[in-house]
């Protein structure tokens, strides 16, 4: 075995081993992107309700991707279903902490002619 074939087999094994982690990292970034956009562009009073909607939307997206790709539900590492569950938990917590009166007042102001 020469040096090139050893390096190729080692790098191929490393790439194959990192592929699930890279996909998972990309999915986490995809799920976190709406939360970042909410933090930058939404007024402070509507931050928690917006985070709740964004997190629940991200959870639905990740769950659909997990269902579509037939991802395993149980595994030794974090699965797509775990990420969907975490996004759901974040969304529900943000919804419970938000005050509905502020949302109703803001929507009422914007809907008046």
Q: Which of 8-12, 41-45, 49-53, 59-63 has the lowest mean pLDDT?
A: 8-12
Tens of pLDDT, residue by residue over 17-33, are: 667 777 778 877 876 77
The answer on pLDDT for 36 being more than 90 is: no
The ranges assigned to domains in the chain are: 25-111
- Ranked by mean pLDDT, the top range of 10-14, 68-72, 87-91 is 87-91
Rounded distance between C-alpha atoms, residue 35 and residue 90, angstroms:
11
Rounded distance between C-alpha atoms, residue 52 and residue 35, angstroms:
9
Q: How many residues does the chain have?
A: 113
Work out the mean pLDDT of the chain and round it to a whole number. 76
pLDDT at res. 88: 94
**Which pair of structure tokens corresponds to residue 97?**
């902490």
Q: What is the pTM of this model?
A: 0.62
Q: Label residue 109 by pLDDT band (50, 70, 90).
A: low
| Mutual angle of helices 80-97 and 3-41, in 10-degree steps | 20
**Which pair of structure tokens corresponds to residue 79?**
């699965």
């Amino acid at each position: 075995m020469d040096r090139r074939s050893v390096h190729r087999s080692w790098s191929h094994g490393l790439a194959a081993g990192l592929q699930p982690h890279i996909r998972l990292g990309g999915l986490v970034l995809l799920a976190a992107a709406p939360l970042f956009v909410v933090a930058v562009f939404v007024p402070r009073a509507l931050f928690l309700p917006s985070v709740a909607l964004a997190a629940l939307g991200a959870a639905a997206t990740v769950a659909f991707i997990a269902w579509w790709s037939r991802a395993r539900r149980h595994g030794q590492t974090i699965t797509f279903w775990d990420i969907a569950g975490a996004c759901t938990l974040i969304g529900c917590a943000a919804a419970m902490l938000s005050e509905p009166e502020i949302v109703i007042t803001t929507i009422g102001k914007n809907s008046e002619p």
